[in-house]
Amino acid sequence: MLFPARLRICCALAALATALGCGGRFMARRDRAPFRSAIEPAATAGQLVFHGDAPVGRNRRLLDELAAQRTVIADRLALPMIEAPVHVYLYADESTYHREMSARFPNFAGRRALFVEDRGELAVYAHWSEQVADDLRHEVAHGHLHAASAHLPLWLDEGLAEFFEVGAARRGFNRPHVDYLLGQLDAGGWQPNLARLESLANAADMTRLDYAEAWLWVHFLLESEGNMTTVLTDYLAELQITDAPVPLSAHLARRLANPEAALVEHLRNVGQAF
C-alpha cells in the first residue's frame, strides 16, 4: 500500500559525491515505519526540535542561527512566520546515519543530509561532520520554506536553500556556484533558461548546473540592483493562494527585455566583485 500523500525529499547539493541532483518526489511504502521513537529529543531552538546523539547542545550558537533562519527567510521573502515544528534528526555516527537512511529512503542512499516533508511533517536528517553547519542551514531552510509556502516549485525550493545555506553574513553569495557557472559559460557548456528550470518536476533530474543556475536566479532576484526582489516576493505571495501561478519567467519577461542576458551580466558582476 502506498502513502496517499506526497513525500518530498530534498538534500544539499554538497551532499552528493557525484554532484548530481539530490531530491525527489516519490511515493514511499507505508511499512517503512518512522524511527523517531528510537531517538529522544536532545534540544530545541525556536521551531526546531533536535533528536539524536550528536553533540548539538554544545553548539548553541549554531542552533540559534538555524532557528533565526525562520525570521531571516520570512523577512527577505515577505513570508508568514509559521509555528510548525521542524524535526532535526542528527546522528553523531556517520555509518549509523547511512545505514538507517538506506533502510528508510533507499532511493537516496549516500546523501549526507535530507529534508523530508511527509504528510505535513517537516523533518531533517543529517550526521555530524565538518560540513554540518552548511548541511543544516540548507535542510532547515527547506523546513522553514515548506512551513511558510506550500507550493514552492522544485527549482525555487532548491535555489532558495542554496542561497540561505551560506549564512546570513554572506548574503547568499556562493563562490563555488559562481566559479562553476562562469567556467561553464565561457566553455560554451551553459546558457541560462529559467523556463527550462521551471519545467523540472523531479529533483533526481536536477544536475549540479541546475542547482547552480537555480541559486543564481535567486541571488539575482534578491541581491541585484533594480528592485527585483518584488518580482520574487509577489510571486511567492501568489503561490500562497494558488498552486498554478503565472510562472516567474513570465513575470520577469514583462519586467526585462532579456532576463537571461541580465542574469549573465549579474553573474559576471558578482564574479568580479567578491
Residues contributing to the site for Zn ion (CB under 5 A): 10, 158, 161
What lies within 8 Å, CB to CB, of 236 at 6+ separation is 77, 78, 79, 149
Cα–Cα distance measured from residue 259 to residue 153, given in angstroms and rounded to the nearest whole number? 19
Q: Which helix (H) or strand (E) holds 95?
A: helix 94-104
Estimate to the nearest angstrom the gap between the alpha carbon of 180 and the chain centroid.
19
Angstrom distance (rounded) from CA 247 to CA 263 = 17
CB of 214 to Zn ion, least distance (A): 10
**Smallest gap from residue 138 Cβ to Zn ion (A):** 6
Give the residue with the Cβ less far from Zn ion, 138 or 251. 138
Work out how close the CB of 105 gets to Zn ion at its nearest, in angstroms, rounded to a whole number. Answer: 14
| 164 vs 251, beta carbon nearer Zn ion | 164
How far, in Å, are 53, 149, 257 from residue 83 at the CA level? 25, 13, 40
Shortest reach from residue 137's CB to Zn ion, in Å: 11
User: CA–CA separation, 39 vs 50, rounded Å?
Assistant: 10
Evaluate whether 124 touches 143 at the Cβ level (below 8 Å): yes
Nearer to Zn ion by C-beta: 117 or 158? 158
Q: How far is the CB of 180 from Zn ion (least distance, A)?
A: 17
* Min dist. Cβ of residue 158 to Zn ion (A): 5
Select 10 or 147, whichever has its Cβ closest to Zn ion: 10
Closest listed residue to residue 84, CA positions, set 119, 55, 112, 125: 119
**HEC profile of 24-56:** EEECCECCCCCCHHHCCEEEEECCEEEECCCCH
Closer by beta carbon to Zn ion, 158 or else 213: 158
**CB closer to Zn ion, 8 vs 51:** 8
Query: Shortest approach of Zn ion to residue 160 CB, angstroms?
Result: 9
User: Cβ closer to Zn ion: 10 or 178?
Assistant: 10
Q: By beta-carbon distance, which residue lies closest to Zn ion?
A: 10
Tell me, rounded to whole angstroms, the distance of Cα 46 from its chain centroid: 19
